Amino acid sequence: MGKTAYDGTPRHLLCKRIPTPPFGDWNDRHYVDYDEYVATGGYVALRKSLAQSPDEVTEEVKKAVVRGRGGAGFPAGVKWTFLPPVPEGKTPGEPGAERYLAVNADESEPGTFKDRLLMEFDPHQMLEGIAICCHACKLHKAYIFIRGEYHLAAERLERALAEAYEKGIFGDKCMQNSDANTGGGARFRVDCHVHRGAGAYICGEETALLEAIEGKRGYPRIKPPFPAVEGLFGRPTVINNVETLCHLTLIMDEGAEAFMAQGVESSIGGPPSYGTKLMGMSGHVNRPGCYEFELGIPLRQFVEEHCGGMRGGKAYKAAIPGGVSMGMLGTDQYDAELDFDIGRKYGVLGLGTACPTVFDEDTDMVAVARNISRFFKHESCGQCTPCREGSGWLYQLLCRMTEGDARNKDLDLALELAESMGSMPGTTICGLADGNNFAMKTIIQKFRPEFEAKLQKTFVTATVGVS
């Protein structure tokens, strides 16, 4: 079972072929082709999976409690069980029995760059995870929706996919050649395609991603129906993140117990946080970069022991735990554990992508709030009025504060605006407004004196001008 506290270096590394700090240097990284991947244990997990029934594979993934690494943290194995059964007498892929996997490789959350590492250097690990998922869920086709700006990642992913087709991992010869023969005569076929996005943050939302793959504008869909029932092209669809799929190789090769031996149990009675996590560190630290740790490492330990401490010897002030939509950790929350309990314990939306952005003592938190609000205003798809208009009003209010033109009531008005929009208040279709909401209210609530100082200064200036 998982441990009760983080206690050091992981035993099973997701990035064993492309070591991340402190386990390796950037210069050690190179593209891992098919031959090298197989020579280092690649596609063994897929062979083992195909020797089992789809239900057995699903149960193993459920047992491991591998929670989604894309931001939401929902257990992948449980998500798979939401799919309806294949129609009786049909084979997946036949008319009326089409079933899809949509891989979320959009990674457009600011401060997040961990999936990029996997796709640029070890793409076969994700392709193996895709094949395992498709076998477990009886899916006939996978689409990898990759961020439009990830040109190198997309090129290398397409190169790896061509190798996988040539070697019989995908396509007509699926798992029939000597390199990938299960020995059990398993019949399995799946196709896989890379679909490049066009740079829209909203397409990271699962239903907007489906719309984009279908060639439409990336508008989130109203749910229900949920993608598991009516997803891509109106058919049952599983949506998983790149890193989530990569973890399937360890689970199916060494068993759920190997995955569960890392990470932590919940300290508040919730689901556990098992396994390792890629964490992209950015901000005011000496050694930013992408690291791999077991879930549960305290932020202070991450910064001080592995990132060389705060840049310039300055003091820690705040941190975004995993993408700007998660909100802000305060100055007194430097010891926050990076696991899936972080939302309930520290007043943020959640762990998100677990890619922290750290700010030092000289950071102007009002300016940070303004920049974040500008991002959400720009990336709102505009479909929902509260998000479309509210994000713009929030940005205007924060611009007033940074420019010294705010009124005393603007601070409370900004909080009221933020808390009145989002899918949790029930005013929008997707959670983009919720991300804006949590970012604004956590920054204002945890650093209110900085905002009030701006307002007080404005009030005094206005009074002097009138008199």
> CB 87: neighbour CB atoms within 10 A?
11
| Least confident stretch, 2-16, 24-38, 137-151, 299-313 | 2-16
The 3 state secondary structure assigned to 181-216 is CCCCCCCCCCEEEEEECCCCHHHHCHHHHHHHHCCC
Residue 422 clears pLDDT 70, i.e. is over it: yes
**Angle at Cα 404 formed by Cα 398 and Cα 409, nearest 5°?**
60
* CA atoms 207, 208, 212, 215: torsion sign: positive
CATH of the domain at 369: 1.20.1440.230
Nearest CA-CA partner of 252 in 402, 62, 439? 62
Q: What is the mean pLDDT of the chain?
A: 90
Per-residue confidence (pLDDT) for residue 90, from 0 to 100? 87
CATH of the domain at 153: 3.40.50.11540
Same domain for 382 and 234, yes or no, is: no
Residue 42 resides in a domain:
yes
Per-residue confidence (pLDDT) for residue 449, from 0 to 100? 93
Tokens of 179: 């390199």
- Higher local confidence (pLDDT), 4 or 102: 102
Mean pLDDT computed over 431-444: 93
Residue 452 resides in a domain:
yes
Q: CA 116, CA 150: separation in Å to the nearest integer?
A: 8
pLDDT band at 190 (very low <50, low <70, confident <90, very high): very high
Same domain for 69 and 208, yes or no, is: yes
Same domain for 231 and 379, yes or no, is: no
Residue 336 clears pLDDT 50, i.e. is over it: yes
> CB 385: neighbour CB atoms within 10 A?
11
Mean pLDDT computed over 51-74: 94
Q: What is the DSSP letter of 431?
A: S
pLDDT band at 467 (very low <50, low <70, confident <90, very high): very low
Residue 2 clears pLDDT 60, i.e. is over it: no
DSSP H or E stretch at residue 451: helix 448-466
Residue 392 resides in a domain:
yes
Same domain for 247 and 382, yes or no, is: no
Kindly report each contact of residues 458-465 with a partner whose C-beta sits within 8 Å and lies 24 or more positions away, as own/partner. Answer: 458/404, 458/405, 458/406, 458/407, 458/408, 459/407, 459/408, 461/404
SS3 content of the chain, % helix, strand, coil (to 5): 45, 10, 45
Residue 318 resides in a domain:
no
Per-residue confidence (pLDDT) for residue 175, from 0 to 100? 64
> Rounded to 5 degrees, what are φ and ψ at 278?
-75, 130
Per-residue confidence (pLDDT) for residue 188, from 0 to 100? 73
Q: CA 340, CA 296: separation in Å to the nearest integer?
A: 8
Q: CA 227, CA 102: separation in Å to the nearest integer?
A: 10
> Rounded to 5 degrees, what are φ and ψ at 453?
-60, -35
Helix axis angle for 365-379 and 448-466, nearest 10°, is 100
Helix (H, G, I), strand (E, B) or coil at 458: helix
Per-residue confidence (pLDDT) for residue 8, from 0 to 100? 60
| Domain finish residue from 256, 282, 310 | 256
Q: CA 254, CA 264: separation in Å to the nearest integer?
A: 19
Q: Phi-psi category of 199—alpha, beta or left, where left has phi over 0 and alpha has psi -120 to 50?
A: left
Per-residue confidence (pLDDT) for residue 424, from 0 to 100? 85
Residue 212 clears pLDDT 60, i.e. is over it: yes
pLDDT band at 11 (very low <50, low <70, confident <90, very high): confident
User: What are the tens digits of pLDDT across the range 13-53?
Assistant: 899 898 888 777 777 789 999 999 999 999 999 999 999 99
Mean pLDDT computed over 415-427: 89
Helix (H, G, I), strand (E, B) or coil at 276: strand
Q: CA 138, CA 140: separation in Å to the nearest integer?
A: 7
Per-residue confidence (pLDDT) for residue 327, from 0 to 100? 93
Determine the distance from the C-alpha atom of residue 260 to the mean position of all C-alpha atoms in its chain, rounded to a whole number. 20
* Residue-level length of the chain: 467
Within 13 Å, how many C-alpha atoms sit on residue 269's CB side? Answer: 0
pLDDT band at 237 (very low <50, low <70, confident <90, very high): very high
Residue 295 resides in a domain:
no
Q: How many helices (H) does the chain have, and how many strands (E)?
A: 17, 10
| Domain finish residue from 256, 273, 290 | 256
- Higher local confidence (pLDDT), 245 or 463: 245
Same domain for 252 and 369, yes or no, is: no
Mean pLDDT computed over 320-342: 95
Per-residue confidence (pLDDT) for residue 38, from 0 to 100? 95
Q: Provide the domain limits for residue 378.
A: 365-466
* Cis amide bond preceding 298, omega within 30: no
Same domain for 252 and 370, yes or no, is: no
Residue 423 resides in a domain:
yes
Tokens of 20: 């991340």
Residue 393 resides in a domain:
yes
Q: CA 329, CA 319: separation in Å to the nearest integer?
A: 5
Residue 59 clears pLDDT 90, i.e. is over it: yes
Per-residue confidence (pLDDT) for residue 19, from 0 to 100? 86
* Residues 6 or more apart whose Cβ sits within 8 Å of residue 332: none
Same domain for 224 and 94, yes or no, is: yes
Give the helix ranges, DSSP H, for 179-337.
206-213, 242-254, 256-260, 299-301
Same domain for 251 and 369, yes or no, is: no
Number of domains in the chain: 2
Residue 457 resides in a domain:
yes
> Rounded to 5 degrees, what are φ and ψ at 102?
-110, 120
Residue 264 clears pLDDT 90, i.e. is over it: yes
| Domain finish residue from 190, 225, 256 | 256
pLDDT band at 464 (very low <50, low <70, confident <90, very high): very low
Per-residue confidence (pLDDT) for residue 180, from 0 to 100? 42
Residue 179 clears pLDDT 60, i.e. is over it: no
> For the chain, what percent of residues have pLDDT higher than 90?
79
